[in-house]
Structure 1
């Protein structure tokens, strides 16, 4: 398909009347990952149903779709950008830099200073960077306001992961750091602070959601070993559920009158980490009594050495190792469903085969969990009872992108670049189609205007059914 034909097809598809079909935040409508009114293609690839692809700068944020525009954030040449593209042909429409006094520390291969997905109310776009705070633009790229924040410092210098949400004219940002953690409520029209709720929890990477709990809008914020509900209007803490995962990477999901959340981290009861002595032996550093960077390279721990060397002296001591393990072993890995009623009461829980980074997707009364392997588990979302457990999916191995769903299918994207389409509602994860892109995919895809938008490490793709 030539670019001209692609432009014509998408222009017809993107009529203003379809604004309700936009994908305006991380994981789309209400953060659910579901767009069941959409019909993205089931078969697609570099030579099939590709409307266009454009090169994009590095970044881990997901694209959002607002009318005829796509917006994402990026980090290139030590600069932070919010960039807008045309849905019709992928042409870059505008690019705005957010200047930071200092770029936050981040993991060079697993993190990014542009990891937070923008959010839109359909008229404006708000981006968040851990390095400098929030910035709001109109859809033409004109800056409306800034809400500056100090450079984020996260545990082990992994970097920022949370994304902002917009509800009732308020931008909400959950910012859990190694210190000074807080939730901020910012007026969307003016950029002024409405309220701030300080938190004791340390570093988390999850994004919040809003749950209508019996007429009260409750802001749900995952955190280290916890899940907390706040009154959206005042920021008052309403309840807290403890004994959750020590590392919060996933986003909760509102399902009818229920809220579900799944958290997992290494060090929990279902995944014991090696002891320090075992790591030393693997590294060949047992005679030294501390772990060296060269030694760590011989172990699965090697890629994370620098993030676990707090004083940057080139060695990890037994005491430093113990401090890190204390954090990881302080939580409990489980998925939970909360009842309505304002008390954070648990309806059911499930403790096996939980994903680390990908958030669950609840689709047509079933909750799907995608774990590295990859292994997929399907639960009855009302009861938590398994439909199937830890079934192997022939599609990649590692996942940062969360599953999304539409038109009877679930779409997954792996760090190896594999995209797969799985039939929903079955008694096993039936892969009906898969394709491999040349580069990794770590950003969650977007589903809007009957199009699947995929951001890889190098390109932004638009896949749509040819007419």
Structure 2
């Protein structure tokens, strides 16, 4: 998932060519949220164009991921009472003490065609040793799969590896470390060529970790000069090299695949959540805490080294193609479709910029009754989709001009903070209560 709490959380790469029946990580191929699907209905409700739906016990804001006909997701079940999450941005959601009830950490595999449970596995049971914000969950990290194994992370418990039939292959324990205000963890692991990378930015001992994906053996661990962040790293395969980009509030840092720093960029907001991605030969990075003046979007060129931070009032330099100092969203990641960069703001506004130059296509436009957004937007079939916390999806024309086409409402008891997945001709929307599969019934 790469979703976190609202108070706070390639076209140039080979991975974008993955078959669209596979949505193997947070935001899918290239971490971009762009799908080639054309047969998925763009209208739905809690009953209309629903191929199937299944209630999911517990709470988890991780996104579903898909490989062929396997759907993987995580959840944590509180055997006691879970406090109801209030929607929107607000103060007062901190819960610094861990809950005192027994919780069960679960991995679930569903059948993509029917929604039936293929298998479910409990990986841990006990009282939580870390706290979370009232809106967050202990299952906010999205799994990742390579088609042979699925890797599921629970930031205060461990990383767990299963084969596709549900056999546990290995586990790597994670020490519960304090996060800012007790908000908990959310950054998801990423895969590249047999290595699993995980970034744990916290208030005690932040680090970037590489594990052997087959065995779980620790390959290296690099300490990070960061405090708490909630951003999933990104493997950037550009024309010059492959690098691991880790957003942070102190600095964005890029590492080689052995954990050695290549470049850094200072000038982020005080809370960093959004996932980077690449398109049109550029890397897009954002950090937009709503309480800060500095809420930048950066478009980075390949080949940087050292400190590439902007000086004084500059908006470009040798490696920053363009930047916008006050344009970034808070929780959602941005979205590039063709040469358009769409920005979905937490409080129900949308803007669009030229992804190659940073020029404005349209300034912030309000989505009527949009209210609160945490999940990231997605694009398919010439449309942009924005799911809010009330379970309403706003469907926009994928265009240089703002045009709201219609809205889709799920059940009234649904809360939407998880970013959806698109697999073949199916759209998977996870809410606080269930998972919907949008598409034609077979």
TM-score > 0.5, shorter chain as reference: yes
2:234 alignment partner in structure 1: 209
Alignment of 1:251-330 (within 5 A): 251-269=275-293
Structure 2-normalised TM-score? 0.84
1:83 alignment partner in structure 2: 108
1:404 alignment partner in structure 2: 378
**Which of 413, 426, 429 matches 1:451?**
426
**Which of 274, 295, 300 matches 1:333?**
295
1:279 alignment partner in structure 2: none
Q: Tell me, yes or no, if the aligned pair for 2:221 and 2:259 is still in contact at 8 Å.
A: yes
- Establish whether residue 39 from structure 1 lines up as the match of residue 39 from structure 2: yes
1:223 to 1:50, Cα distance in 2 relative to 1, 3 A? same
2:70 alignment partner in structure 1: 69
Higher relative contact order (CA 8 A, sep 6+): 2
Aligned-partner Cα distance in 1 for 2:369–2:411: 12
Q: CA deviation at 1:104?
A: 4.3
1:223 to 1:140, Cα distance in 2 relative to 1, 3 A? same
Per-residue Cα deviation, 1:438-461 (whole angstroms, up to 9, x for no partner): 211110011111111100100100
Q: CA deviation at 1:393?
A: 1.5
1:425 alignment partner in structure 2: 399
* 4+ aligned runs moved over 4 Å, structure 1: none
Aligned-partner Cα distance in 1 for 2:129–2:199: 17
1:239 alignment partner in structure 2: 263
- Establish whether residue 228 from structure 1 lines up as the match of residue 203 from structure 2: no
Per-residue Cα deviation, 1:214-250 (whole angstroms, up to 9, x for no partner): 3311101011232110002x11000100011211111
2:184 alignment partner in structure 1: 159
Computing the radius of gyration from Cα coordinates, the structure with the larger value is 1
Q: Tell me, yes or no, if the aligned pair for 2:104 and 2:126 is still in contact at 8 Å.
A: no
Aligned-partner Cα distance in 2 for 1:154–1:459: 28
Q: Secondary structure at the match of 1:174?
A: strand
- Establish whether residue 342 from structure 1 lines up as the match of residue 304 from structure 2: yes
2:368 alignment partner in structure 1: 394
Q: Secondary structure at the match of 1:359?
A: coil
Per-residue Cα deviation, 1:353-389 (whole angstroms, up to 9, x for no partner): 4311000111111111100231001010000111011
- Establish whether residue 187 from structure 1 lines up as the match of residue 212 from structure 2: yes
Q: CA deviation at 1:169?
A: 0.8
**Which of 92, 107, 115 matches 2:117?**
92
Q: CA deviation at 1:19?
A: 4.9
Aligned-partner Cα distance in 2 for 1:263–1:109: 22
Structure 1-normalised TM-score? 0.80
Q: CA deviation at 1:92?
A: 1.2
Aligned-partner Cα distance in 2 for 1:131–1:453: 27
Q: 108-117 or 426-435: which moved more?
A: 426-435
**Structure (1/2) with the larger helix percentage:** 1
1:365 to 1:435, Cα distance in 2 relative to 1, 3 A? same
**Which of 342, 345, 367 matches 1:368?**
342
Q: Secondary structure at the match of 2:263?
A: strand
Per-residue Cα deviation, 1:175-206 (whole angstroms, up to 9, x for no partner): 10111101111111110111111101010001
Structure 1: where are the runs of 5+ without partners? Answer: 1-17, 270-331
Q: Secondary structure at the match of 1:30?
A: helix
Q: Tell me, yes or no, if the aligned pair for 2:133 and 2:184 is still in contact at 8 Å.
A: no
Aligned-partner Cα distance in 2 for 1:466–1:127: 29
Aligned-partner Cα distance in 2 for 1:22–1:395: 34
Q: Tell me, yes or no, if the aligned pair for 1:116 and 1:162 is still in contact at 8 Å.
A: yes
Structure 2: where are the runs of 5+ without partners? Answer: 1-17, 79-102, 309-318
Aligned-partner Cα distance in 1 for 2:20–2:360: 33
- Establish whether residue 249 from structure 1 lines up as the match of residue 273 from structure 2: yes
Per-residue Cα deviation, 1:43-81 (whole angstroms, up to 9, x for no partner): 111231111111002211111111111111101031111
Q: Tell me, yes or no, if the aligned pair for 2:240 and 2:302 is still in contact at 8 Å.
A: no
Aligned-partner Cα distance in 1 for 2:218–2:125: 20
